[in-house]
Chains A and B, each alone.
Chain A
Amino acid sequence: AQTVTQSQPEMSVQEAETVTLSCTYDTSESDYYLFWYKQPPSRQMILVIRQEAYKQQNATENRFSVNFQKAAKSFSLKISDSQLGDAAMYFCAYRSPPHTGTASKLTFGTGTRLQVTL
């Protein structure tokens, strides 16, 4: 079974600075997808960024980028120019492609609470 580990329960960053959130995962599959989700106090899980395992190029979405190291099974999220609105819980998630008749489920880590200070 796949597992996702986030070893940083809480992180803090000053506004306009850069912060990196860590995530490692365990899988025996070669083809899969990785995601970072943001969950503010409003509870809704918001997709921040996604990465396909077959792509060597790291994904980037505006101020958000990832460092995907497939051999090391590592998938960290870098937030540049942090803003007050970035404060939230961040979850790393793994999804395997659907196999015949099976679910294509998300497996989440335990999350990292990000605080943004002035």
Chain B
Amino acid sequence: DAGVTQSPTHLIKTRGQHVTLRCSPISGHKSVSWYQQVLGQGPQFIFQYYEKEERGRGNFPDRFSARQFPNYSSELNVNALLLGDSALYLCASSPILEGNYGYTFGSGTRLTVV
């Protein structure tokens, strides 16, 4: 079975540009979450979607937005990129929200803003 897949794996953008990151959850998983991991830090929660509805948003500016599609895949969009947006962006999926599921993570997208 395919795990959580993210694309692209690496990306270099210029300040002020826009970026779209993509995530395909494990088949049958209805929840997708996005995390930002700055070098040397633990991941920080950005968004969670479940059944195509936003369930929560972390402490990130409105430049960050996301959506979940009918097939449960998801996109994370970041507008007006800043140097500080350089990070590893991780996607995680789970079948439901309840229970002790620990979420399955993808390998991430490394975004560099220059």
Encode B37-71 as 1/0 by CB contact (under 8 A) with A: 00011111100100000011110000000000000
A30 within 8 A of B: no
B102 within 8 A of A: yes
Which residues of A are found within 8 Å of B56, using beta-carbon distances? 102-105
- Listed in ascending order, the chain B residues whose CB lies under 8 Å from chain A are 33, 35, 40-45, 48, 55-58, 88, 90, 92, 97-98, 100, 102-108, 110
A108 within 8 A of B: yes
Asked if B42 and A44 sit within 8 Å, CB to CB, the answer is no
A109 nearest in chain B by CB position? B42
Asked if A106 and B103 sit within 8 Å, CB to CB, the answer is yes
A-B contact pairs, 13 of them (CB 8 A): A43-B88, A43-B108, A43-B110, A44-B108, A45-B90, A45-B105, A52-B100, A91-B42, A95-B102, A103-B56, A105-B45, A106-B92, A106-B103
Q: How far is the CA of A51 from the CA of B101 in the complex (A)?
A: 10
- When the two chains form the complex, which single residue of B33, B42, B97, B103 contacts A110, counting CB atoms closer than 8 Å? B42
Asked if A43 and B107 sit within 8 Å, CB to CB, the answer is yes
Which residues of B are found within 8 Å of A98, using beta-carbon distances? 55, 97-98
Asked if A107 and B45 sit within 8 Å, CB to CB, the answer is yes
Asked if B55 and A104 sit within 8 Å, CB to CB, the answer is yes
Which of B41, B42, B58, B88 has most A Cβ within 10 Å?
A: B42
Given that A45-B90, A98-B97 are contacting pairs, would A105 and B48 also be in contact in the complex, using a CB cutoff of 8 Å? Answer: yes
Which of B88, B102, B105 has most A Cβ within 10 Å?
A: B102
Q: How far is the CA of A63 from the CA of B35 in the complex (A)?
A: 29
Which residues of B are found within 8 Å of A106, using beta-carbon distances? 33, 35, 43, 45, 92, 103
